[in-house]
Structure 1
Amino acid sequence: MPEPGLSPLQSSLPTAAAHFGAHVLARAAAPTETAGSAGVAALATAAAATAAAMAPPAATAPAAVTAPDVVAAPVTAPPVPDLGRILRGPTGLGTAALSLARREDAPPLPEPPTPGAPEEGRPIPGLYYHPVPEPDPVRVDEVSRRIKSWALDEVQLYPDDWEGEFDGFSVGRYMVACHPDAPTVEHLMLATRLMVAENAVDDCYCEDHGGSPIGLGGRLLLAHTALDPLHTTREYQPSWAESLHEDAPRRAYRSAMEYFVDQSTPSQADRFRHDMARLHLGYLAEAAWAETDHMPEVWEYLAMRQFNNFRPCPTITDTVGGYELPADLHAQPAMQRVLALAGNATTIVNDLYSYMKELAGPGKHLNLPVVIADREGVSDREGYLKAVEVHNDLMRDFEAEAAALAAACPVPTVQRFLRGVAVWVDGNHYWHQTNTYRYSLPDFW
């Protein structure tokens, strides 16, 4: 029996607007916006307008202090009350991974592997990342047990000969590392089911297990209706409902989304559907290039990867955490830029760690190192090392933008959401680095 979760979430917009409005309106007479912070200023303006109508009359702004130098970044954020405490996040045993106060410099780079030494579990030399604590083994075991039971008993996701591959994915360890603040195991399961369902669609429709670019659009469209239900006539509704059980990807999408909708707010569910539509659009672009044998320019590839990427995963960090980032704050350009950069950086991590796995597959699999080597006329090694630099640039931009937004918007849910996205980014790298069942490093150092 599933453990009881939290009560259905309620929107935190009125409280968030009041807190944020008190701060912003108190500073309106002496704005401190600096060059490069237009997106953050837009967020402040929008939230202030909402707060003006909703804040209590007696609301007063707390005294401002100077913000610490969170990251080395070209964007200078305005001072915020007690920002250091906010960015440091919670304290105490097991909370180290929840801090948004990112290190100013990358951790020391690992030494290149010595000849003949095993590379399993080693981070990519030169990659900018942050180590995370080992995920809670009790939660890992419980999530792993529950997700396998769901896959086998509820959605009949895979045949017996795929069991080793399912276990090797280590999805329980993945999700616990990415969501250490989830209040219950059932909250973790929301993300875990969706991750497994997304992977099933990718494998079965696009890649490893019978996937093909031919006809992909039709398959994805029908699968997407498991997330975004069809509203049609009574005559045709039963046929659509029956179709959701016809193959494993649709069964997985339907079931995972039902669990998610049950625990999320309507705006959170609609946000997730939107990001899944982005993901499916990216799948279609890559499939179109495969059908026409098109090698994209590097910038074209990066544009595709902004859609075909991990963004739906950190998007739901508040749902998994048991709270809500209000829809209007999530939709602001500054927050959208942070999410886009996080999704782009984590997806290039996948390109880098899966490089050898994809080379071993049939055909020519597009990833950033391959595209750079082809389009810029460099060796495979140079293409790979350039891709590491691209990732590092994206990571530093993500951290700078997140720090600037945290400084400008001291709303508790914004602070927590930004911390959650940062932790997801680090947990994603941890899983790729340590999943030696799937990944190994090239011999480029």
Structure 2
Amino acid sequence: MPAPELPPPQPSLPEAASRFGAHVLTEAASRARDIGAATGGLPRPPALSLTTAPAEPAAPTPAAPGAGSVRVLGGPTGLGTASLRMLLRDAATPVPPAAAAETCTEAGTQADAQGKVIPGLYYHPIPEPDPVRVEEVSRRIKAWALDEVSLYPDDWEEEFDGFSVGRYMVGCHPDAPTIDHLMLATRLMVAENAVDDCYCEDHGGSPDGLGERLLLAHTALDSLHTTAEYRPQWAESLHADAPRRAYRSAMEYFVRAAGPSQADRLRHDMARLHMGYLAEAAWAQMDHVPQVWEYLAMRQFNNFRPCPTITDTVGGYELPADLHAQPAMQEVIALAGNATTIVNDLYSYTKELNAPGRHLNLPVVISEREGISDRDAYLKSVEIHNELMHDFETAAASLAAETPVPSVQRFLRGVAAWVDGNHHWHQSNTYRYSLPDFW
């Protein structure tokens, strides 16, 4: 039997960039949307006059370090890392004056008025998100949740407000040109949390039957193409519960603003997320604690990846599909998602310990599987996060140095900004999170 013919070699990243270089900027410009026109067919509150990026807010006074010393690191080393600071932490993602010389901080016992930073955690401080934008996004998202999708009953209002999703999304997307662009991310974030809470977690969620619920909800993102007889039943099902209503509406807004490849990219990453939910549910049904590497594999799917992957849509431009699909870019996005999700494990640790049942998070899995104390497992989790962050920054810097394409450079800045904003929200959201007494 003759040997199968090998496929032609795939282009290297610099070659791909060169191939796209002549038309990337033209395509990106042509696909930048006027979101107001794109979403004009859907009901929503009146448009705000704030249609341009706000002036840079005044930097907060840096918090004084506590008893522990603050060690300032030089950041990652290796190919391209010298350009990382200039590229990924430029004027689009400003940092407070205290971090201007060295934005890479490994925290000691440091606190500000809005919550403590985990000692030893590697992170980048950001200015407080623009309060005018935060207020308007918060107003609009609550109106959407109540009036458009009937997302939650009255007794959930305090928890919805305490989530501070407007502050979260404004901090994560500093280059969003308008409030309407920010709302694309904000609706999706709220919808994703509704699915997690109502299907998986503490608002009626259960591992039993989760696969069916997720599959039917996913059809609100990835439309069912079926026969005329059964299509009306499917369409009616999209209004059957709050998660499906939220998914349907959020995705309708998104696809009107995004290019086809951007919308399909999001569907793919949402399928990844749902697969991660199912793995965690299977462990719950079996009362099984996975190996640490297995848990980290699950967390590469059950993580924040759908959020930074849409940073170009929220920024009003498009990273072409071929450049997004390059292995080097996929590595950067995966590492960003992994690092930001471990941040969630660390800041939500005490919240989950105080909740009913056993919640798997990285410190819990390390403690049980490696036979070490809760404190040592938590501190090891901090080290794992820091390694993922350094790997993310090194990979992003290398990609930026090898691919001088404006849309690639901007996308990498957007992902880095999302990583930083995600940490800031977790650290400062004292309504939801508090730290264990391990120091």
**Under a length normalisation based on structure 1, what TM-score does the superposition of the two structures give?**
0.81
Q: Within 1, Cα distance between the matches of 2:11 and 2:255?
A: 33
**Per-residue deviation, 1:108:** 5.2
- CA drift of 1:46 comes to 2.9
Q: Which amino acid aligns with 1:110?
A: G
Whether 1:45 aligns to 2:15 is: yes
Residue equivalent to 2:420: 426
Number of the residue aligned with 1:15: none
Going from structure 1 to structure 2, the CA distance change for 1:54 and 1:288 (only over 3 Å counts) comes to closer
Partner of 1:182 in structure 2? 176
Tell me if structure 2 keeps the 8 A contact 1:71–1:403: no
Report the CA distance shift for 1:119/1:132 in structure 2 as closer, same or farther (over 3 A).
closer
The answer as to whether partners of 1:306 and 1:344 remain within 8 angstroms in 2 is: yes
The within-5 A match list for 1:327-346 is 327-346=321-340
**Cα distance between partner residues in 2 of 1:363 and 1:387:** 21
1:129 aligns with 2:123: yes
Contact 1:121–1:434 (8 Å) recurs in 2: yes
> Following TM superposition, by how much is the alpha carbon of 1:86 offset from its aligned partner in structure 2, in angstroms?
6.2
Q: Which of structure 1's runs of 4+ aligned residues deviate more than 6 A? A: 52-55, 101-105
Match of 2:380 in 1: 386
Q: Unmatched 5+ residue regions in structure 2?
A: 1-9, 26-73
CA distance in 2, matches of 1:97, 1:71: 15
Q: 2:397, 2:231 → 1: CA distance?
A: 47
In structure 2, the partner of 1:148 is 142
Shift of the 293–103 alpha-carbon distance from structure 1 to 2, 3 Å rule, reads farther
Q: Which residue of 1 aligns with 2:152?
A: 158
| Match runs of 1:218-237 below 5 Å | 218-237=212-231
Q: Structure 1 pair 213/53, CA: closer, same or farther in 2 (3 Å)?
A: closer
Q: Is the 8 A contact 2:114 2:428 kept in 1?
A: yes
Aligned residue identity for 2:425: W
Equivalent residue, structure 1, for 2:262? 268
Using the TM superposition, give the Cα deviation of residue 111 of structure 1 relative to its aligned residue in structure 2, in angstroms. 2.6
- Give 2:42's aligned residue: none
Shift of 1:48: 3.4
Q: Answer whether contact 2:338 2:388 (CA < 8 A) is retained.
A: yes
Report 1:42-441 matches (<5 A): 42-49=12-19, 72-74=76-78, 76-77=79-80, 87=87, 91=91, 96=94, 106-107=104-105, 109-111=107-109, 121-441=115-435
CA distance in 2, matches of 1:139, 1:149: 15
Query: Relative to 1, partners in 2 of residues 1:106 and 1:50: Cα closer, same or farther, differing over 3 Å?
Result: closer
Partner of residue 23, structure 1 = none
Structure 1 residues 229 and 376: CA distance shift in structure 2, 3 A: same
Residue 89 of structure 1, CA deviation:
6.6
**Aligned partners of 2:271 and 2:143: how far apart in 1?**
28
Q: Is the 8 A contact 2:173 2:417 kept in 1?
A: yes
CA distance in 1, matches of 2:332, 2:269: 14
Letter in 2 for 1:200: A
Distance 1:299 1:119 in 2: 36
Q: Distance in 2 between matches of 1:443 and 1:354?
A: 13
Return the offset for 1:109: 2.3
* Cα distance between partner residues in 2 of 1:254 and 1:344: 27
Q: For 1:180, what is the secondary structure of its paired residue? A: coil
Aligned-residue offset at 1:102? 10
Secondary structure of the residue aligned to 1:122 is: strand
Offset of residue 107 of structure 1: 1.8
TM-score, length-scaled by structure 2:
0.82
Deviations 1:117-145 (A, max 9, x none): x9960100000001001100000000000
User: For residue 356 of structure 2, what is the amino acid of its counterpart?
Assistant: P
- Give the letter for the 2:174 counterpart: P
How has the CA–CA distance of structure 1 residues 386 and 182 changed in structure 2, closer, same or farther, with 3 Å as cutoff? same
Match in the other structure for 1:58: none
Amino acid at match of 2:18: A
> Does structure 2 retain, via aligned residues, the 8 Å contact 1:72–1:400?
yes
CA contact (8 A) 2:81 2:393 kept: no
Q: 1:258 to 1:52 in 2, by over 3 A?
A: closer
Distance 1:422 1:84 in 2: 10
Q: Structure 1: which 5+ runs fail to align? A: 1-39, 56-69
In 2 relative to 1, CA 153–50 (structure 1 residues): closer, same or farther, beyond 3 Å? closer
* Residues matched between the structures, number: 381
Deviation (angstroms), 1:51: 5.5
**8 A contact 2:146–2:152 mirrored in 1:** yes
Q: Would the alpha carbon gap of residues 193 and 432 (structure 1) be closer, same or farther in structure 2, given more than 3 Å must change?
A: same
Q: What is the Cα-based RMSD across aligned positions, in Å?
A: 2.7
Cα distance in 1, alignment partners of residues 345 and 247 from structure 2: 25
CA shift for structure 1 position 73: 2.5
